[in-house]
């Protein structure tokens, strides 16, 4: 997987970034992985480490529906429920994990101001 740097004039530069950040959008971004994921609707999954059994079962059912629909799921997959959901989603999961580590291996250097964005905007 090779890192790709896109400037704001590039057609592949995500319009959502410009839309959300306006003038604060970075002049260029470094990417790694499938850029088509950026165009998909995304759902964030956050679960408590302690929750009622009924909520856990509903969450598993929802994760299976997301999997079947090909939904793009964003999560840290840290809590036990999130880990189980990851297993359910793994059948066709297109994931972007450990991106900062992979980008460093590819030689992508994040300047001080870019690190702030990387923490919040990497998929």
Q: Of all residues in the chain, what percent carry a pLDDT higher than 70?
A: 72
Task: List CB contacts of 121: < 8 A, sequence separation 6 or more.
Answer: 17
What pLDDT digit, counting tens, does each position of 103-116 carry? 666 666 555 555 44
CA–CA dist 113, 115 (Å, integer): 6
pLDDT confidence tier of residue 42, bands split at 50, 70 and 90: confident
Q: Of all residues in the chain, what percent carry a pLDDT higher than 90?
A: 14
Nearest C-alpha neighbor of 99 from the set 21, 38, 31, 28: 31
With a cut of 50, say whether residue 94 has pLDDT above it: no
Domain assignments of the chain as residue spans, ordered by start: 1-33+97-123, 35-95
Q: Is the pTM of this model over 0.85?
A: no
Q: Which two tokens stand for residue 27?
A: 């002049």
């Amino acid at each position: 997987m090779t890192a790709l740097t896109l400037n704001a004039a590039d057609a592949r530069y995500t319009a959502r970034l410009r839309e959300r950040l306006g003038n604060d959008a970075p002049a260029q971004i470094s990417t790694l992985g499938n850029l088509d994921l950026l165009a998909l609707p995304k759902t964030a999954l956050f679960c408590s480490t302690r929750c009622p059994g009924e909520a856990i079962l509903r969450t598993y059912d929802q994760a299976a529906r997301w999997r079947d629909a090909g939904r793009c799921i964003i999560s840290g997959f840290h809590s036990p429920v999130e880990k189980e959901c990851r297993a359910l989603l793994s059948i066709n999961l297109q994931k972007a994990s450990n991106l900062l580590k992979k980008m460093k291996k590819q030689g992508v250097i994040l300047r001080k101001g870019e690190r702030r964005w990387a923490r919040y905007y990497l998929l």
